[in-house]
Amino acid sequence: MPAAAYPQKTMPEIALDIPPDFHEVPLEAAIEDRVAAQNALIEDIGLHDTEQREGLGLYLEAIARTLAGGPVVGTAFCAVEMDGRPSTATLTVATQSTSTTDPLIVVAGTAEAMRRTGRYTRVGVEVAGSHRAVFASGAAGAEGLELQQTTAVVPVPGHALTVLVTIATPSRDDIATYERVVRSIAASLRVVTS
């Protein structure tokens, strides 16, 4: 699996292993750079139909503009076939500062806060690789579309920072597969040292 690195301005550089079926959405700040990266992605995917290329380009730009200036440091999407039918998912990686570097306090506090929101049907603390992490799952909806969503919140060792890895899919039958993807990505979290 390729690794995606997410540099932070005053925070450590974080690396995660993203499965190759996920295509990272270009989020470059300069429009010229972003459009060039979007076009390269469309070429890499191998779309030849003009309407599909244009539609994907608009989708990528809409995502980039929606996420600009927020805590999201990376997002990717996949469109695959599972059991002979299409399946799609969106993967988002965000960061959140914490008031402590103690991972046990962060995990316990995060789990309790997520339980209290009532938005998740399951919230639990698990071991992901060498980290303790909070995993929360539930359904979310927007504009008549119900999405199955799983979020992993992983404290970054030695830093007052957490990484949130969220996967969302409209494919209810495939959520177990996508939950395994989130767990794998969360387990791969590491701080890049120079």
Residue among 122, 119, 128 nearest 164 (CA): 128
Based on the domain organization, do 94 and 145 belong to the same domain? Answer: yes
Does residue 99 register a pLDDT over 60? yes
Q: For the chain, what percent of residues have pLDDT higher than 70?
A: 93
Q: How many structural domains compose the chain?
A: 2
Does residue 192 register a pLDDT over 60? yes
pLDDT digits (tens, 9 = 90+) for 135-146: 999 988 766 778
Based on the domain organization, do 126 and 101 belong to the same domain? Answer: yes
Based on the domain organization, do 13 and 49 belong to the same domain? Answer: no
What range does the domain containing 38 cover?
28-67
Confidence (pLDDT) at 154: 97
In order, the DSSP letters of 17-54 are E--TT-EEPP--SSHHHHHHHHHHHHHHHT---HHHHH
Residue 172 belongs to domain with CATH number: 3.40.1000.10
Does residue 1 register a pLDDT over 50? no
Based on the domain organization, do 112 and 63 belong to the same domain? Answer: no
What value does the mean pLDDT of the chain take?
87
Chosen domain end from 38, 67, 96: 67
Based on the domain organization, do 78 and 11 belong to the same domain? Answer: yes
Based on the domain organization, do 127 and 156 belong to the same domain? Answer: yes
Specify the amino acid at residue 121. Answer: T
pLDDT digits (tens, 9 = 90+) for 44-55: 888 788 888 888
The H or E element containing residue 187 is: helix 175-187
Residues 6+ apart with CB under 8 A from 8: 14, 73, 95, 161
